[in-house]
Structure 1
């Protein structure tokens, strides 16, 4: 098993455990509520007829279900892409439970290879997902596809982790961070700014975060610089 396969196996175990043991929008995990930055963008879809949204690394619908609820009355669609079977299965179940099964379309795919047609989406969301593509080259490619796939005046909302560290809380030992792409913060910001040159920057913050996760029944402290980068494409 190579390093990429090992990281993805570990991430699969972690997410499968979360999805099996914590219910969407119930307290107890990060599935409790959608990301505020994403929700703050929903009014921008209000005046668009049949808005089209893409959620890359959608998980079980933490953000895509509230988006679908918002645009349901306008005939919009939310395309949700995730690599994990457990995420797609749970999302299909939750979308029906929350009455948006006709709004959400699920696709099982690696977002690093997912094709995005040009000028298709009014909003593209990627929350804690772009750092899980296989290579740095894939990271740049998906950003270019996101940019090209956005309609004029459409928005890309990116939240991505950088400089990730993992520490065993029992031994205080620093571990190899199980993250496919783990760039220095400045380097990642430079890539974002280069690819989105000419776009209006709506929000750009870097927030140091640390929180406890469980890997193989061991408590792990995860530390990261979380980059939030929200940009609007120029009009034609």
Structure 2
């Protein structure tokens, strides 16, 4: 993607999410933020079978759709949940939601770009990256982020990744296809290949690809966001 197109896509995504977070609350009906991603909680329960105190990182955390339920589940365990997001509105909303749900003592909120964030070696037991990795600048940037995530994970740690692939944007009233304003729009097979290569020495716990369609207000007119949501959950063996 050319730099100008990347900046345009980044600006459109920021505008869409800023409006979403300002007009809607997490864990309440009405948007895709109404509940956490089910597999995020499933993988958390898997970790809790053998370890109660966890260091969790939620990349591209948004307003806390996943971070808040994870923190609520880990309350009174001495665990820490770090939420990182590039958008000011997301960071502010996560702080508000941490207070609203009374988990502010265990949630660390950081502003930053997942593509350029350095992770301490072996620090995290659980890294969540849901709807985050399609916002990096290139395929190589994705590979680099995965390598940093791997290095930042403790033995036995789990990564839970969902990524939109094969993205299409359809104008709602006319059915006309638009050029998707997304930073990294990989074909589904290519994304799965990159994940398998990156995690060839990890245990694969879950993988799938599911078609989805979501109404959006990212352009001048309402659109339908269509994509294949790739799920990839893996566990570090040593």
- TM-based fold match above 0.5: yes
User: Once superposed, what is the RMSD of the aligned Cα atoms?
Assistant: 1.2
Residue 107 of structure 2 corresponds to residue 104 of structure 1: yes
Tell me how far 1:117 sits from its aligned partner.
1.4
Is residue 58 of structure 1 aligned with residue 61 of structure 2? yes
Q: How many residues align?
A: 235
TM-score by length of 1: 0.96
TM-score normalized by the length of structure 2: 0.95
- Say yes or no: does 1:125 pair with 2:150: no
Alignment of 1:16-35 (within 5 A): 16-35=18-37
- Aligned equivalents of 1:77, 1:215: Cα separation in 2: 34
- 1:185 paired with 2:169, answer no
- Any idea what SS the aligned residue of 1:30 has? coil
- Secondary structure, aligned partner of 2:232: strand
Q: Could you say which residue in structure 2 is the equivalent of 1:230?
A: 233
Residue among 174, 178, 181 paired with 2:177: 174
143, 148, 152: which one aligns with 1:149: 152
Please tell me whether residue 81 in structure 1 is matched to residue 84 in structure 2: yes
SS in 2 for 1:41: helix
The answer for the alignment partner of 1:8 in structure 2 is 10
Query: Which range moves more in the overlay, 209-218 or 10-19?
Result: 209-218
Q: What runs of 5+ residues in structure 1 fail to find an aligned partner?
A: none
Q: Tell me by how many angstroms 1:3 deviates.
A: 1.1
Other-structure match for 2:43? 41
Please give the per-residue CA displacement for 1:122-162, whole angstroms capped at 9, x wherever unaligned. Answer: 10000010000122221110011111111111100000011
Query: How many Å separate the matches in 2 of 1:25 and 1:67?
Result: 12
Q: Contact conserved, 1:55 with 1:79, CA < 8 A, in 2?
A: yes
Tell me, in whole angstroms, the C-alpha distance in 2 between the residues paired with 1:161 and 1:153. 26
Structure 1 consecutive aligned stretches of length 4 or more whose deviation exceeds 6 Å: none
Q: SS of the residue aligned with 1:67? A: helix
Highest RCO, 1 vs 2 (Cα 8 Å, sep ≥ 6): 2
Structure 2 gaps, min length 5: none
